[in-house]
Structure 1
Amino acid sequence: MRSWRKLLVSVLSIVMISSSVFISTSEYNSVEAATSYSSLKSKINSIMADSRMKNASTSVTVRKASTGEVVYEYYADKAVTPASTMKLLTGAAALETLGENYRFTTTVLSEGKVEKGILKGNLYLRGQGDPTLLKNHLDSFAASLAKNGIKKVNGNLVGDDTWYDKVRLSAGILAEDEPYYYAAPISALTLSPNEDYDAGSVIVTARPSKNGSSTSVTLTPATSVLQVVNNSKTVPKGYKNTLKITRKVGTKKVIISGNAPLGTSGVKEWISVTDPTAYALDVFKKSLAEKGITFSPGSKVVRGKTPENAKALTSRKSMYLKNLMIPFMKLSNNTHAEVLAKEMGKVVHNEGSWKAGLLVMQDYALSIGLDVTKWKFEDASGMSYSNKVTSRELSELLYLVGSEPWYKYYIKSLPIAGSPDRLVGGTLKNRLKAAPAKGNVTAKTGSLNNIKSLAGYAKTKSGETLIFTVLTEKNRSSTIPVIDRIATTIANN
């Protein structure tokens, strides 16, 4: 964080209580528009008359990206749950605090010596938050150890996740969400199943096998930290596919139920693990075995802290943060958001916790001039229904980041309307697919039950860029079609 920002934060923080403080402002329906925007004002007001918007709790702000001038407001100071548009603040704070070239590190260490192919000591796998660690990276670790002559370990395999605290789930995670990837527990030592980098999850696939038999189940990567309970059945072609995969809350039991008709591809689900550290260790031990590295009969797989005298045997650094921003924001990856919060807390306050990380986010908001009394957040991903922000403040954030040196990475990370490439279009891949919105709206989506939001930038027909934030909650029916009409109207201005 720049020195002037540190000074500003230290002064302003004296009068702040905590990141969880939120002071409500009186609601009002205010519409402001310069003469040149009178047509846009009229069109958006017509859209706001839609029953889906009238029945929802809505906050809208439109402003110029060049000057920050507000050209349209509708209950702009109303506090609304932002859902994943909260990631706009998380991403900005991370780029500023950690830097666009920040990388996460994972290291294999030991305090023992190698004699005649035997490592006489413990083998430590130390994680420092990398959400992009894959099975093939663990394979590379194992290959490096084998190349250095290690054939056997007579100590324990130890997972060191002490870089972060022991709190695994962010506030506001519902029991119904806990079995799935988007609510995976957070650990400094974790593993992702593929290059979407949904850390802390396993891809569970159930496919039809032989008529009358259970489905064929595979886990990617293969791991024993989940226990499969297969109650499904393969049925003749033409039957309805009723396959379902879930995990029993609070347990390791993955329940597979329903019918899988022959000739179908079955079902695939990203299931969260209950213990990311144990998951990484389990897969790493398999990687070691595949390279011929064994353990003594008395060796155990445990969790612990790496001793100071341990020496690094091999290590890996993640991609740069500027590159991680793509899967994080395009795919709205919740675990990335929460990892970044804890990482910011660790780097700034030497505490890898949500409390410390959210404080960093608040301080960043203060430093750029946002009114943090109009923000409430108890997580970094937007999963909590208790998060609140106004459309005015969210649009102000989008204006202020435009002058940041890392802004080019920030804007590049946002989904682009209608783009068929999922790492370009992201969560807007299948929305706003027609002109003038297609390719001209770049924005972050947000979605929870009865909550929909969209916040970002729209290039108008005249070539001007407008910032828009549309937040809706308490929806009786989805407001996405109406929100998309607003974005299209702005792009058509």
Structure 2
Amino acid sequence: MKTYVKLVLCIVMILAPGLNIRGEEPAVIAAEDGGGIQHAIDRLLEQDPDLQGALAGISVRSLSTGKILYGHMGDIRLRPASNLKLLTAAAALSVLGEDYSFKTEVLTDGVQRGKTLKGNLYLKGKGDPTLLTKDFEEMAENIRKKGITSIRGHLVGDDTWYDDVRYSSDLAWSDEDQYYGAQVSALTASPNEDYDAGTVILEVTPGSKAGKKPAVAVSPKTNVVNVVNHAKTVPEGKKKDIEVKRDHGTNTIHIQGTIPQGASKVRQWVAVWETSHYALDLFKKALHRQDIHILGDAKIGETPKNAELMTVHQSMPLSELMIPFMKLSNNGHAETLVKEMGKTVKKEGSWEKGLEVMRTELEALGVDTDALLLRDGSGISHINLISAHQITKLLYSVQHEEWFSSYIRSLPVSGASDRMVGGTLRNRLTNPSVKGKVRAKTGSLSTVSSLSGYIDTKSGDTLIFSILLNQLLDDEKGQEIEDRIAEILAAS
């Protein structure tokens, strides 16, 4: 009997895209052709070959009433990919507040005698994922302004604000050297204003002639990584095929393949191993540029409780950080915010405590937390589960929060060419009927594609929608399906 039940369930799940499963009673929006969005979306789900054998969870609500206007498998838990960031962003804004900022402190346990600091200098990270080379430079300048030119002690990096777990529980080992899988540490650094914390940027440029090794530049300059260049420059017209990989557990980066003469450079982000050492190295270099001589070693440790504060760097407020976080779908920001929520509320900067805080806050925002599974803050885990109806329920409730303007401003805008406006939607939904009318979070994992947010319709209404597509053979095809559904909604 159990075998028979399992077989029936499997058949239902496989055929699900063609079924009209609704957990709440929907109304129907009448379109100009009289068919309404129900008929148009149902027909798309039934006829699109890329959805055969796949799962499609769809929810559409009225922004003004919250009433469900359309649902297809709306109560079925599916993998949200980066649509999970909608939950993380809402919880973080609610717990931490729009004005919240991260601090990085420089402290000492020594005393200044003339131009010499007799004691250790501590760089204490408190989670800031936006530290750039110029910020380390500014902190070093502030030390120099105190008249210090020599430190008779060690330079110590302190990352104890969070726990020592660097990766979320379900991160694949093969993603560890990718920018989206970088380590999460209380002390870290970013290479540019995309703020992909814990990464460096490698640029590979063709050599002067065929047979020569291409030139390789690392930004920012750091002694932490070791680049081994196996690549070759080949004649013009030949194939460009450069591969950049970091060895697991080390900071040795291998570059292999070919790059033709005259070809454009290859630019790639690589996550470093032990980001605390990376940030400390950038600070050490900044001190040297200020002609501050350090007699001791650079190492990782803990700041004594009686250490004296010398200078502090404050990050941008959370309202501004939301822009690169959500527009560019920054995984590191999401996981940092989870740990920071745990540190702020439960005095422990860990995924476990942060997710506990997140669940509590989401429940207060109307989400049924008993009906979802949270494993991280970014959505990179394939074990995260939530239904489309729960996402639209959240998107309805948050519009009444005082921080909603920061929240909705952070969402990518369809067809907007400015990278910090259009974000991950800048090259999608560019038709006049939908351009600029969709504000939504994208999501993509292997076999998963998602899109959830707000859409302005032809009739002048605003709809809340969530589309979760799972078990896809081609997740890029999922984006095309999402865009077609968005066009249907916009035309209503």
Q: TM bucket by the smaller chain?
A: over 0.9
Residue 385 of structure 1 corresponds to: 382
Contact 1:58 1:78 in 2 (8 A): no
Contact 1:377 1:388 in 2 (8 A): yes
Residue 97 of structure 1 corresponds to: 95
> Structure 1 stretches of 5 or more lacking a match?
1-25
1:19-98 to structure 2, matched below 5 A, reads 29-30=20-21, 32-37=25-30, 39-49=36-46, 50-98=48-96
> Structure 2 stretches of 5 or more lacking a match?
1-12
Q: 1:408 aligns with which of 405, 409, 412?
A: 405
SS in structure 2 of the partner of residue 376 of structure 1: coil
Does the alignment pair 1:209 with 2:231? no
CA distance in 2, matches of 1:442, 1:322: 17
CA distance in 2, matches of 1:241, 1:209: 13
Q: 1:417 aligns with which of 414, 418, 421?
A: 414
Residue 452 of structure 1 corresponds to: 449
CA distance in 1, matches of 2:429, 2:422: 10
CA displacement at 1:257 relative to structure 2: 0.6
1:420-431 to structure 2, matched below 5 A, reads 420-431=417-428
Does the alignment pair 1:310 with 2:303? no
CA distance in 1, matches of 2:249, 2:469: 32
CA displacement at 1:53 relative to structure 2: 2.1
CA displacement at 1:242 relative to structure 2: 1.2
Instruction: Count residues in correspondence.
Output: 467
Residue 261 of structure 2 corresponds to: 262
CA distance in 2, matches of 1:34, 1:244: 52
CA distance in 2, matches of 1:202, 1:476: 32
CA distance in 2, matches of 1:36, 1:62: 10
CA displacement at 1:34 relative to structure 2: 2.6
CA displacement at 1:248 relative to structure 2: 2.0
Amino acid of the structure 2 residue aligned with 1:198: D
Contact 2:28 2:69 in 1 (8 A): no
Residue 4 of structure 2 corresponds to: none
- Deviation readout 1:87-114 (Å, 9 max, x if unpaired): 0000000000000000000011112122
CA distance in 2, matches of 1:476, 1:303: 45
Contact 1:33 1:41 in 2 (8 A): no
CA displacement at 1:377 relative to structure 2: 1.2
SS in structure 2 of the partner of residue 479 of structure 1: helix
- Deviation readout 1:227-250 (Å, 9 max, x if unpaired): 111001122222211112121223
CA distance in 2, matches of 1:249, 1:432: 39
- Deviation readout 1:56-109 (Å, 9 max, x if unpaired): 111101110111100101011111100000000000000000000000000111
- Deviation readout 1:374-412 (Å, 9 max, x if unpaired): 110110000000001111111111111111110011000
CA displacement at 1:210 relative to structure 2: 2.2
CA distance in 1, matches of 2:433, 2:348: 46
SS in structure 1 of the partner of residue 175 of structure 2: coil
CA distance in 1, matches of 2:115, 2:214: 43
Contact 1:244 1:267 in 2 (8 A): no
Amino acid of the structure 2 residue aligned with 1:174: A
- Deviation readout 1:140-196 (Å, 9 max, x if unpaired): 111111121111111000011111000000111112211011000000000000000
SS in structure 1 of the partner of residue 174 of structure 2: coil
Contact 2:112 2:118 in 1 (8 A): yes
CA displacement at 1:35 relative to structure 2: 4.7
Q: 1:160 aligns with which of 139, 158, 161?
A: 158
Residue 277 of structure 2 corresponds to: 278
SS in structure 2 of the partner of residue 168 of structure 1: coil
Contact 1:472 1:479 in 2 (8 A): yes
Residue 366 of structure 1 corresponds to: 363
CA distance in 2, matches of 1:369, 1:192: 35
Q: 1:395 aligns with which of 361, 368, 392?
A: 392
CA distance in 2, matches of 1:47, 1:235: 48
Residue 6 of structure 2 corresponds to: none
SS in structure 2 of the partner of residue 357 of structure 1: helix
Does the alignment pair 1:435 with 2:426? no
Q: 1:286/1:33 Cα in 2 relative to 1: closer, same or farther (>3 Å)? A: same
CA distance in 2, matches of 1:172, 1:56: 23
SS in structure 1 of the partner of residue 77 of structure 2: coil
Residue 467 of structure 1 corresponds to: 464
Amino acid of the structure 2 residue aligned with 1:104: F
Amino acid of the structure 1 residue aligned with 2:457: T
CA distance in 2, matches of 1:368, 1:413: 19
CA distance in 1, matches of 2:294, 2:345: 39
Which deviates more, 130-139 or 262-271? 262-271
SS in structure 2 of the partner of residue 366 of structure 1: helix
SS in structure 1 of the partner of residue 191 of structure 2: coil
Which deviates more, 166-175 or 245-254? 245-254
CA displacement at 1:52 relative to structure 2: 1.4
Residue 327 of structure 1 corresponds to: 324
Contact 1:243 1:266 in 2 (8 A): no
Amino acid of the structure 2 residue aligned with 1:293: I
Residue 172 of structure 2 corresponds to: 174
CA distance in 2, matches of 1:421, 1:409: 18
Provide TM-score, normalisation by structure 2: 0.93
CA distance in 1, matches of 2:195, 2:441: 19
Residue 490 of structure 1 corresponds to: 489
CA displacement at 1:226 relative to structure 2: 1.2
CA displacement at 1:54 relative to structure 2: 3.1
Residue 129 of structure 2 corresponds to: 131
Q: 1:145/1:77 Cα in 2 relative to 1: closer, same or farther (>3 Å)? A: same
Q: 1:376 aligns with which of 365, 370, 373?
A: 373
SS in structure 2 of the partner of residue 416 of structure 1: coil
Provide TM-score, normalisation by structure 1: 0.93
CA distance in 2, matches of 1:344, 1:220: 31
Contact 1:131 1:191 in 2 (8 A): yes
CA displacement at 1:29 relative to structure 2: 3.4
Contact 1:83 1:452 in 2 (8 A): yes
CA distance in 2, matches of 1:453, 1:47: 16
Q: Percent identity?
A: 46
Residue 240 of structure 1 corresponds to: 239
Once superposed, which parts of structure 1, at least 4 consecutive aligned residues long, lie more than 4 Å away?
Answer: none
